[in-house]
Homo-oligomer: A and B are copies of this chain.
Amino acid sequence: MIVSALLTSVGINSVLCILFFALYSILRKQPGYLYVYVPRLLAANGIEKNLHIRLRRMIPSPGWVKKAWNLTEEELLSTSGLDAVVFTRIIVLCLKIFSFAGIIGLFVLLPINCAGTQLAAFDITAISGETLDLFTISNVNNGSKMLWAHCTAVYLITVFVCFLLYHEYDYISSKRNAYFYSSKPQPHQYTILVRGIPVSPGSSVSESVGNFFKEYHSSTYLSHVVIHRTNRLFFLIDYVKKIYRRFKHKQSEPVKEYSRFDDSFGVQKSNLENGDLEESLITEQWDASFSGQEVRSAFVFFRSRFGAAIASRLQQSEKPTEWVTEQAPEPDDVYWPFFQATFLQRWMSRVVIIVASTLLTVLFLIPVVLVQSLANLSQLEVWFPFLASILTAKVTRQIVTGYLPNLILQIFVKLVPPVMEFLSSIQGYISFSEIQRSACDKFLWFIIWNIFFANVLSGSFINLFSVLLDLRNIPSHLAVTVPAQASFFIAYVVTSGWTSTSSDLFRIIQLIQSLLRKCCCCNRTASDEFELPYIYYHREIPKILFFGLLGITYFFLAPLILPFLLVYFLLAYIIFKNQFLYVYAPKFETAGKFWPTVHNCMIFSLVLMHAIALGIFTVKKLSSASTLIFPLPVLTLLFNEYCRKRFLPNFVAYSAESLIKKDREDLNDSEMPQFFSELITAYMDPALSPLQCSDFDGHGVPSFSDISNDHIAPLLSHA
């Protein structure tokens, strides 16, 4: 890629970012857009929307940046939960790594690269300064002693990253424990999910569960709820919801008097046009609750956390496929549709989904290759000869080569996370959080394979595989192809990093939706169907980690990428903190279970860097350096193995010590009897619970009592 094309890309994206920031600074203060930009504040306090229009409101104000920057970890923890803290710590980790790497890269490696004459000796165009390769390791002369600087840099960054990773794992692990100790009694701590319940002829599932746990866990067993088959009901309820909404629209002004939280459907249901539908719904509920539609799964409640842990972590039955137990998810986090599957069905669907997502990951290359060929201008002219006149213009030329390929790729990639989430949802997980964690892993490997490897090994489907199957030559292959793609990835950081994150701040899709609603429907309907948004961890975490991977692998090859990455991480740091404060509500709490994915991805990035370094030093004819690199991946993997032993168990389950301590604390709590009586009804299939309006928005609004007026006052003062 030529420098000017890259500069065009940087220019366009910088302008876009500034535009987004400026527009956001204005729009967030407009009453009509509060639902788009500060939904959490609205949900918490119901800010008066009819503020008078003031001039100040039309001037962009950067106060929110400072506010987001100053938001402490404790504040974030109290308002958005530990997952949000862990999420921002990923960004902070990357900021730390690339600040260190940036100093080495820009002040040591970059001058060495530029001082080389390797490319000048072979390539005339290089002298004209038109390619970015001058700034990469490719320009260092073969066999030059200067390459030892790169080798040292690889060592330094590996040690630094491992050091940070260890401390971060340790820190988050301790945070997890602290979170557990400070938590109030929560239903899921006392509950396990049992599946594969064997039923003897003549008895019901419920009797079977009761007998089993009374027999083997008599001292801690409290009660249980058998799950019912409700798939048909789900569709019916969805249908009723739609009708209800339409009905509510027609139902007149004053909308504001309608308070969605305490208005029960029971009061209004007589107004429903569709009487027989409602009737059939109630019949279904009746059937499901009391007839033979019991599924062989149940939630079982215990008197203590330790009791639940014993029942969930020890194999219960002689037959491992019966009485399969696991800790229950939070009540709101339960994913209900998959409880009726048997052990074999769940196992099969798991296998099928793994195959399907692998196929999706692999076959996705076809559009990527298409994108690759689009980047080739002459190819474009051949395909669309009628565009020839436009394409030959210098400006379009640079836009096409510098910007278009990334944009198309981005649009394709944007479609993948929902697909991965869907695949994970039919893989048999029992909670939304597990579905998202699984989708997160899937999307991460998708993005690494399809964006990194497909671009680096630049190529056709077959070529890619033949390279990867020839294990021995992978390093030297990578050594040749990776540096060559430096400029592509710089452009990628700018396009997919800067602009995409800024558009996340600007919430462009939600803004358009809200505008469309304003135009099409009558006024303010948007606010009525208002639902608190939540962050898609399975989309955002892989993106951030991928930039981390790019940074680590390119750090010693093409240090020029580092400042662009640093700008991206700074943007992300401010934007996501701001969004946690004003937009994203926590949908579930995994208490930092996403971290092992982060750790593993960082280790993978390091080992990938070592493989490339191994190849580079061989290609560059400094074989002693490549020999010296060899122990590095081994040591890194050993370090990873140690961390797995040292920290991972804490991310799987809490220890007996913590559970018992916490149980003892609660012994004297006067609220516990009340809690236990509520516990028994906590896990109610939404399809079977009494129909209430609050259910009609899908997910109840999480409590947001911790955001005080301190947070809102400054917003309004800027407004």
Enumerate chain A interface residues (CB-CB to B < 8 A). 177, 215-216, 309-311, 313-318, 320-321, 323, 343, 347, 351, 466, 469-472, 638, 641-642, 645-650, 653, 655-658, 660
Question: How far, in whole Å, are A311 and B306 apart by their CA atoms in the complex?
Answer: 12
- Contact at B469–A657, with CB atoms within 8 Å? no
Give the residue of B316, B323, B658 whose beta carbon is less than 8 angstroms from that of A318.
Answer: B658
Q: Which of A317, A469, A657, A660 gathers most chain B CB within 10 Å?
A: A657
Please, which residues of chain B bring their CB within 8 A of the CB of A311? Answer: 656
B347 touches A642 (CB 8 A): yes
The reply to whether B320 and A646 form a contact with Cβ atoms under 8 Å apart is yes
Given contacts A315-B656, A466-B472, A472-B469, contact A647 B320 (CB under 8 A): yes
Cβ distance A420 to chain B, nearest Cβ, rounded Å? 22
Query: Bound complex: CA of A320 vs CA of B643, how far in Å?
Result: 11
Q: In the complex this chain forms, how many copies of it are found? A: 2
Kindly list chain B residues whose C-beta atoms are within 8 Å of the C-beta of A177: 318
**What's the Cα separation between A351 and B640 when bound, in Å?**
13
Q: Please tell me if the beta carbons of A657 and B309 are within 8 angstroms of each other in the complex.
A: no
The secondary-structure label for the interface of chain A is helix
Alpha-carbon gap, A347 to B648, bound state (A): 15
Tell whether, in the assembled complex, residue B216 and residue A660 are in contact, meaning their CB atoms are under 8 Å apart. yes
Pick 19 A–B contacts, CB within 8 A, sort by A.
Answer: A216-B657, A216-B660, A310-B310, A310-B314, A314-B656, A315-B650, A315-B655, A315-B656, A316-B655, A318-B655, A318-B658, A320-B648, A343-B645, A347-B641, A351-B638, A469-B470, A470-B470, A470-B471, A470-B472
CB closest residue in chain B, given A466:
B472
Complex: how many Å from CA A648 to CA B323?
16
Cβ of A310: which chain B residues have Cβ within 8 Å of it? 310, 314, 656
Instruction: Determine the residue in chain B with the shortest Cβ distance to A217.
Output: B656
Cα separation A641 to B347 with both chains bound (whole Å): 10
The distance from the CB of A609 to the nearest CB of chain B, in whole angstroms, is: 21
Residues of B within 8 A of A343 (CB): 645
Contact B347 A316 (CB under 8 A): no
Q: Which residues of B contact A314 (CB under 8 A)?
A: 309-310, 313, 655-656
Docked pose: A322 CA to B311 CA in angstroms: 23
CB-defined contacts of A323 to chain B, threshold 8 Å: 657
Contact, CB under 8 Å: A320 / B660:
no
Chain B residue at minimal CB-CB distance from A170: B319
- Closest residue to A215 on the B side, CB-wise? B660
CB pair A318–B657 under 8 Å, yes or no, is: yes
Contact A315 B645 (CB under 8 A): no
B645-A321 in contact (CB<8A)? yes
- Measured between beta carbons, the chain B residues less than 8 angstroms from A309 are 314
Nearest-neighbor residue (CB-CB) of A325 within chain B:
B656
User: Nearest CB to that of A313 among chain B residues?
Assistant: B314
> What distance in Å separates the Cβ of A520 from its nearest Cβ neighbour in chain B?
51
Chain B residues lying within 8 Å of A317, measured Cβ to Cβ, are 655, 657
Given contacts A177-B318, A310-B656, 9 further A-B contacts (CB under 8 A): A215-B660, A216-B656, A315-B649, A315-B655, A318-B655, A320-B645, A320-B650, A347-B642, A469-B471
- A311 vs B469: C-alpha distance when bound (angstroms): 46
A650 adjacent to B466 (CB under 8 Å): no
Report which of B320, B470, B646, B653 forms a contact with A649, defined as CB distance below 8 A: B320
Bound-complex Cα distance A656 to B216 (A): 8
